[in-house]
Amino acid sequence: MKKDQSKNLDAMYEEFHAGKISRRDFVKYLGMAGIAAGIAGGPFGFGRKAYAAESITCHSWGGSTSEALRKFAFDPFTEATGIEVIDAAFTGLDAFLTQVKASYPPGGEFNIAHLSAVFDYARYTELGFSVVLDESQIPNLKNVMTKMTETLRKVTNGTLSAVPYDLGQTGIAYNTEQISKARAEELGASLLWDESLKGKLGAIGSDFRTNMWYAALHTGQSPNNITDLDAVWDALTEQRGLVKKYWESGSELMSLLANGEIYATAAWSGRVAGLQEQGHPIGYLAPDGTYSWMEFMYVLKGTDLEVAQKLLNFMLEPEAAIAVAIGQKYPPSLDPTKIEMPEEVKKLPAFDPTGKLDGFLFADPDYWNRYQVEWAEKWDRIRAGA
């Protein structure tokens, strides 16, 4: 039921955004849909106080990420400026987007979102939630790796609606007591199809992109330009017979690897770093074409830009950005050729000492957003064995 409500709300938002329905009708619909969809605080945040310029809200991922942001960025910013940063955790990216769409007028309780991957930057921008940041008010942007900012600028015609904040990969984690480094590097992406590991492989359950990405690499194709889609589906169907568990969360991923229930899986680089720090025999493989992504602080339309820009600049201060990076175990967006990095950052998976990110392949937003619904539904059927 909630899924249907979300789809209806998406459709109504598109109609309103295109000028096909009146504001009055849109508001009327939101008044009904807010309760049915379970949107916290109602579609307009009625019943909540409207946050003034002395506070700003940032939604992030919860757990160690939010803890690091709070300890090393938000609290010090509040102490320095007197501006409260209200941190909130996503209940899921699709659910968050539904809440943002239902929050009218924009702003208020939704100000900054710690989004992941360029296709989300494009998606929020295409829906009309972007702003144009005044980069002169964020001088620390000069220290951010150029490839990261330029990748976002291509989506927003040379301007920025977000600042890149950290960097990660979905590479391949493997148990070094069961799989040698030489074998892992020899097989590359095809390690995830190694029949000798049947019943000891894992995969990300809910993420069709990652699964298709590695199936493309396994079949010798570019993930951003798949020319033989049937080969990808066939590979994923074959892999299903080898997989012991489709995991759904970072904690589940770490538990499966730490307990030796699986020996290899596509895995988030920060979670691999956490396992390595705990002393588990887990190696990290980043084959050519590894699924790479950046996370960024996206400023939503209606937000007080003066406050947002002040916070973003503070968060990009090397002391804050590096401390957050160590806390959440993802390298910061700061260029290591401009800002000296400590050993704790240099040893993180996905760290690039050159600052050029030449070996990093990001998902093409137009390509992946174009087929999102079709491919996600196909992946769900394969995963279910249908």
Domains and CATH numbers, the chain: 2-167+294-366 (3.40.190.10), 168-292 (3.40.190.10)
Residue type, 108: G
Q: How confident is the model at residue 4 (pLDDT cuts 50, 70, 90)?
A: low
Residue 182 reports pLDDT greater than 50: yes
Query: What's the rounded Cα separation, in Å, for the pair 118 and 273?
Result: 23
User: b or e along 125-152 (b: 16 or more beta carbons within 10 Å of the residue's beta carbon)?
Assistant: bebebbbebeeeebebbebbbebbbebb
Mean pLDDT, residues 338-361 taken together: 94
Q: Which of 134, 199, 196 is nearest to 161 (CA)?
A: 134
Mean pLDDT, residues 185-199 taken together: 98
Query: What's the rounded Cα separation, in Å, for the pair 247 and 266?
Result: 10
243: number of Cβ within 10 Å: 21
The pLDDT assigned to 181 comes to 97
Q: Considering the entire predicted model, what is its pTM?
A: 0.79
pLDDT digits (tens, 9 = 90+) for 57-99: 999 988 889 999 999 999 999 999 999 999 999 877 888 998 9
Give the phi and the psi of residue 211 in degrees, each rounded to 5: -65, -45
Q: How confident is the model at residue 386 (pLDDT cuts 50, 70, 90)?
A: confident
Residue type, 90: F
Query: What's the rounded Cα separation, in Å, for the pair 81 and 83?
Result: 5
Query: What's the rounded Cα separation, in Å, for the pair 235 and 219?
Result: 8
Query: What's the rounded Cα separation, in Å, for the pair 88 and 105?
Result: 20
The pLDDT assigned to 53 comes to 53
Query: What's the rounded Cα separation, in Å, for the pair 43 and 108?
Result: 12
Beta strand pairing call for 264-268 and 201-204: parallel
Residue with tokens 């009708």: 25
Q: Which of 248, 240, 250, 243 is nearest to 265 (CA)?
A: 243
pLDDT digits (tens, 9 = 90+) for 217-270: 999 999 999 999 999 999 999 999 999 999 998 899 999 999 999 999 999 999
pLDDT digits (tens, 9 = 90+) for 124-175: 999 999 999 999 999 999 999 999 999 999 999 999 999 999 999 999 999 9
Number of H helices, E strands in the chain: 17, 10
